Structure 1
Amino acid sequence: MSERKLRWKAGSDFMSSAAAIWMVPLAALLIGGWMLLQHWYQQGPLVTLTVERAEGIVAGKTPIRSREVDVGRVESVELSEDFSHAILRARINKQAADMLREDSLFWVVKPRVGREGISGLGTLLSGSYIELSPGKKGRAQDHYQIQETPPLSSLGQKGLHLTLTSRETRALGVGSPIQYQGFGIGQVEKVNFLPEKAMMEYQIFVKAPYDTLVSSNSRFWMTPGFEVSLNSDGMKVKMDSLETLLDGGITMGLPDGWSVGEPVADNSSFTLFKDQASVLEGNFDQYINYVFLFEDSLAGLHPGSAVEYRGVRVGTVISAPYILDDKIYSTFNQRSIPVLARIEVQRLSQRYADADHDKWKSVFEEQFKQGLRASLKTSNLLTGGKIIDLNFYNEVPSYVAKTIKKTPVFPSVSAGLDQIERKVNKILDKFADMDIETTLTQVNQTLVTLEKTLGSVRAVSNNLDKLTGEPQTQQIPASLNQSLQQLQQTLQGYDGDSRTHRELQKSIQSLNQMMRELQPLVRSLNEQPSALIFDRNYRPDPEPKRGAQ
């Protein structure tokens, strides 16, 4: 009995010892599972990042940071299947999982030298890392594209993102400043070229609180860093800041006389004009097209040139020359070259800008009858640029209405430097048509005759010199003086105080008295010629006889 109890007791010790041995790996398994579950639970999301080049990125070492705090790490680096880019798989910490949104941004921080300055110098020792900008919109994504350059706006900075489109070939660079009245309010963040639209697209950021300046009526135009202009006032040189001197910038403003528009939403689109003058040109949507026929040279006249009336701009040149039938040789068959331009009626009157175009055409036709004509005028002697000048002329042919391709023709005349040039050319042509050889022969003959004449004059001069040198000729002045003295003495004898003058005066008085005494005698002889012989008897006048009583 005691032996059985001992046998059972020994078996129970064996079983208890075996159970104790299996408890250790089971506990280890449970602990490992719990740790694995805890690790899996504490792990953040795994994201796939694509980058063109994985320069400076090392799997298992390159961290992902946000505001200088580690929020993840790159786990693997490999090439894509088509070998066109690199694929990174990165683990984001669970505490930073909420930073992943649809608009989250990733970029590689490394030493950079750009127009905004030098950045990333700290990575020279620690190595490159990936910066994460927390997103605010949408849900978390599994794939993200690493940007080549970091965003210029600070993380979480308030402001307004806008999109500008331009068809200008001159492109601005990333970091170009946005200015308002010469003060920086933002910068260009991204530059894209849209080949399907053949235009440039700029993503810009306007910092707060300057974003309140942006409205629906705001306009954006390119600002050259250095500009030289010539006008009637002289030469003007304009230079902006050194920052815009490299590749220019963008200026935002409100045209004069415009009211402040409504506030705009984020990511709104605007047109980027080439300069400030183009801002107003793009808003003249009421115009009348005219065809101008010029016989002068069109050199210096380009699309966009002004149409002016006595110095005031009233239109814009559209096409110079204006090819009507896509056949350039037909232009050479005509003496005049067509130019298409438009008269922008909004420049003439804002009040009547919306009037019917037929009314405006009738107004111009009335002015055509009064002598309104168009001519080419040189606006800049230095560059040779030309404009279309409108003015009234007195002696012009009568206006006859014409149309080309249903477009009315604006009557034109030749004036300005081109007309002077043609007159000078005509004079030169006349000189060229002259028989120069015959003219020179005649001139030579005339010179020979003139030389002979001068020889004769020289001989006469020599003879006169000889004549004046003879003694007889030299005595002539003395004889002439003697004659003049005798004539003077004779005239002095008839002076008022001389005796001869007094005697002559007495004789004239006696003669006058004698003539007065002879007047009765002469009168008697006229009445009765026989008075010298017979006495003068006066008979009484006959009396008529009385009639019978």
Structure 2
Amino acid sequence: MSQTEPTPPPAAKPDYQAARRWNIVWVVPIIALLIGGWMIWRNVTSQGPVARVRFDTADGIAARKTEVRCRSVRVGFVKDVKLAEDLKSVLVYLELDPDNQGLLRRGTRFWVVRPRVSASTISGLDTLITGAYIELDPGPAGGEYHSRFVGRETPPATNRSIPGRRLMLTANEAGSLVAGSPIYYRGFEVGRIENRQLDIEHQRVTYDAFIREEYGALVTENTRFWNTSGIDIKAGADGFKVRTPSFQAMVSGGATFGVPEGVEPGKPVADGTVYTLFGNQDEAADSNFNPTMRFVLLFDQTVRGLVKSAPVEFRGIPIGRVADISFNYNQTPDDSRIPVLVEVDPSLLRREAAESQGKSDSEFLTEAVTRGLRASLKTGSLLTGALFVDLDYYKDPSPGEFTKVGEYPSIPTISSGFAQLEAKLSAILDKIQALPLDDTMKKIGAAADEAATTVADARGALKEIEETAAAARKTLDSPEFAKLPADLRTTLLSVEKSVSSVGPDGAIQGDLLRTLDELRAALRSMKSLTNAIDEKPNSLLFGRDTSGNPIPKAPKR
């Protein structure tokens, strides 16, 4: 019989409770998560734009310390400084405040403000205490956003935020004008040179010029700019000219502008207008001259002292200038005359009556040459020896006509001034040299010898006459003379007077001796004159040198 195992009692049902879906412990991480998210959002939204600026060196720049300022207001800071890949420059990353993003646009300029001392200005001394900072000069308003820049190593003369007229000047040479050099109008400073650079493509020097807003209307279409740096000394046909600018312009350079005399100013110009910077005021004034004709003048005398830009005058009135001096303008191989190319305005020669007749310049000049118009070289200054071309009408000039030499018309020339005087002196010297002075001197010497012999013979005769006179005087004093008739006595007295005048104390012998002395003096003077002319021919013009021989000085001990 099998035993039946007792049935186990049923298992008890577990007692369970539903888990809570919210626990206060989770408040802490949730709050931390919210705070972290807020901080991330805050950091992202508060981070301003970043710009990269390339400088040659990072001298005075430190990450997280150096500020970025615009007109002395902090607008950002230096975020990072790195060395460029080419190892030739540094990359400075600037972070600006979010509300200053509009400052990063095309044309914005950056430079490091540090202590600087130049010939014209002293700046940045406050950075000795506060430290160096980066200055930001915003570009033109409305420019597109830009974040890559090349920093300037020198600060500009003016900020773009300052209103005014900005121009460009071009010159063939840099001269002494530098960034910061003043610009004057009638001696009053009205602007500055902002920048100077070399234009390799056009092989010229360009300047960025700034004129303050209140003086911008002075710059017009016919304005001329010229360099006023240093002392301007010019020696030309008008003599010496010396112009001295202000002391500041002499030290740091400077430029001046104005309108040439007799020219209308014209309308004001816009920003970016390009002007030529002339070397001096005379070049700026001559730029207004617009010649309408070119001539070739053939001179058979030296042109030493005649230079390019020398004036061409008509009775003292400037009507042109010398353009070139070259043998290329005369194609005739046997012609040794020197060609001079001149630029003139024939209208300055014509009267209103001639202009009203409607004649062309060529017709007018053809008639003028027929009436005696000739060109000549004249000395403008005895100190400098500079020459100028003079046009004038002459009476009975050498034959000539208005012809062509190569491609240019030609006006006949004549010699005048020192050249004409030199020709006359040469002719006089030639005549003197052609005189038979040696034969004449020999004849005069022979005549003097004969005169001396004659005087000796005369003295012998005088001695005999004296003896005769003594005998006659003895006879006249004798008692027998008183018994002679009156007419005979008168005749004998006359003979006595005549004999006395021929004696050693007589007037005839004295006159003869004086004549011989004067003849000897004249011979000596003529000999001295011929010797002086042989040694120094120009002594006829300039006289003898009366300074004497220099006295040698004893050596210093």
Bin the TM-score by the shorter chain. Answer: 0.7 to 0.9
2:459 aligned with 1:459: no
2:187 aligned with 1:215: no
One-letter amino acid matched to 1:135: G
2:146 aligned with 1:141: yes
Give the aligned partner of residue 93 of structure 2.
89
Does the 8 Å contact 1:284/1:346 carry over to 2? no
Does the 8 Å contact 1:322/1:340 carry over to 2? no
Q: How does 1:32-51 map to 2 (within 5 A)?
A: 32-51=36-55
Give the aligned partner of residue 385 of structure 1.
386
Partners in 1 of 2:121 and 2:244 — Cα distance? 22
Structure 1 residues 388-414: Cα deviation after superposition (integer angstroms, max 9, x where no partner): 111122233333342133321111112
Structure 2 unaligned blocks of 5 or more: 1-10, 491-557
Does the 8 Å contact 1:171/1:200 carry over to 2? no
2:123 aligned with 1:122: no
Residue 178 of structure 1 and its aligned partner are, at CA, apart by 1.6
Q: In terms of mean alpha carbon deviation, does 451-460 or 63-72 score higher?
A: 451-460
Q: 1:463 to 1:84 in 2, by over 3 A?
A: farther
Residue 301 of structure 1 and its aligned partner are, at CA, apart by 1.8
Give the aligned partner of residue 319 of structure 1.
324
Residue 24 of structure 1 and its aligned partner are, at CA, apart by 4.0
Structure 1 unaligned blocks of 5 or more: 491-549
Partners in 1 of 2:253 and 2:354 — Cα distance? 36
Partners in 2 of 1:247 and 1:477 — Cα distance? 110
Structure 1 residues 386-443: Cα deviation after superposition (integer angstroms, max 9, x where no partner): 1111112223333334213332111111222123334445666788x879xx976x58
One-letter amino acid matched to 1:109: V
Partners in 2 of 1:189 and 1:459 — Cα distance? 101
One-letter amino acid matched to 2:378: K
Match of 2:71 among 67, 72, 86: 67
2:117 aligned with 1:113: yes
One-letter amino acid matched to 2:163: K
Q: 1:413 to 1:16 in 2, by over 3 A?
A: same
One-letter amino acid matched to 1:376: L
Size of the aligned set, in residue pairs, is 474
Residue 474 of structure 1 and its aligned partner are, at CA, apart by 9.5
Does the 8 Å contact 1:71/1:96 carry over to 2? yes
Partners in 1 of 2:474 and 2:372 — Cα distance? 76
Q: 1:395 to 1:413 in 2, by over 3 A?
A: same
Q: 1:254 to 1:346 in 2, by over 3 A?
A: farther
TM-score w.r.t. the length of structure 1 is: 0.74
Q: How does 1:295-310 map to 2 (within 5 A)?
A: 295-310=300-315
Q: 1:317 to 1:444 in 2, by over 3 A?
A: closer
Q: In terms of mean alpha carbon deviation, does 355-364 or 365-374 score higher?
A: 355-364
The SS at the match of 2:251 is helix
Q: 1:247 to 1:123 in 2, by over 3 A?
A: closer
Give the aligned partner of residue 198 of structure 1.
203
Partners in 1 of 2:368 and 2:474 — Cα distance? 82
The SS at the match of 1:380 is coil
Give the aligned partner of residue 261 of structure 2.
256
Partners in 1 of 2:306 and 2:89 — Cα distance? 51
Partners in 1 of 2:66 and 2:351 — Cα distance? 65
Q: How does 1:360-379 map to 2 (within 5 A)?
A: 360-379=361-380
Partners in 1 of 2:60 and 2:354 — Cα distance? 63
The SS at the match of 2:205 is strand
Residue 229 of structure 1 and its aligned partner are, at CA, apart by 5.3
Does the 8 Å contact 1:346/1:353 carry over to 2? no
Does the 8 Å contact 2:117/2:123 carry over to 1? yes
Q: 1:115 to 1:455 in 2, by over 3 A?
A: same
Partners in 1 of 2:113 and 2:474 — Cα distance? 120
Residue 222 of structure 1 and its aligned partner are, at CA, apart by 2.6
Residue 82 of structure 1 and its aligned partner are, at CA, apart by 3.0
Q: In terms of mean alpha carbon deviation, does 442-451 or 148-157 score higher?
A: 442-451
Does the 8 Å contact 2:223/2:259 carry over to 1? yes
Q: 1:349 to 1:472 in 2, by over 3 A?
A: closer
Does the 8 Å contact 1:319/1:339 carry over to 2? yes
Q: How does 1:240-255 map to 2 (within 5 A)?
A: 240-246=245-251, 248-255=253-260
Partners in 2 of 1:368 and 1:16 — Cα distance? 121
Does the 8 Å contact 2:110/2:137 carry over to 1? yes
Q: 1:357 to 1:381 in 2, by over 3 A?
A: farther
Partners in 2 of 1:360 and 1:294 — Cα distance? 23
Does the 8 Å contact 1:316/1:344 carry over to 2? no
Q: 1:453 to 1:2 in 2, by over 3 A?
A: farther
The SS at the match of 1:220 is strand
Partners in 2 of 1:479 and 1:336 — Cα distance? 88
Residue 187 of structure 1 and its aligned partner are, at CA, apart by 1.6
Partners in 1 of 2:475 and 2:159 — Cα distance? 120
Partners in 2 of 1:426 and 1:68 — Cα distance? 84
Residue 106 of structure 1 and its aligned partner are, at CA, apart by 1.1
Q: How does 1:374-523 map to 2 (within 5 A)?
A: 374-425=375-426, 445=442, 449=446, 452-453=449-450, 455-456=452-453, 459=456, 463=460, 472-473=469-470, 476=473
Partners in 2 of 1:292 and 1:169 — Cα distance? 36
Give the aligned partner of residue 268 of structure 1.
273
Match of 1:56 among 42, 60, 76: 60
Give the aligned partner of residue 296 of structure 2.
291
Q: 1:249 to 1:461 in 2, by over 3 A?
A: farther
Give the aligned partner of residue 533 of structure 1.
none
Q: CA RMSD in A?
A: 4.1
Match of 2:172 among 167, 171, 175: 167
Partners in 2 of 1:356 and 1:75 — Cα distance? 81
One-letter amino acid matched to 1:174: A
Partners in 2 of 1:161 and 1:352 — Cα distance? 47
Partners in 2 of 1:272 and 1:33 — Cα distance? 63
Does the 8 Å contact 1:43/1:94 carry over to 2? yes
Partners in 1 of 2:333 and 2:252 — Cα distance? 43
Q: In terms of mean alpha carbon deviation, does 300-309 or 393-402 score higher?
A: 393-402
Q: 1:447 to 1:395 in 2, by over 3 A?
A: same
One-letter amino acid matched to 2:395: N
One-letter amino acid matched to 2:43: H
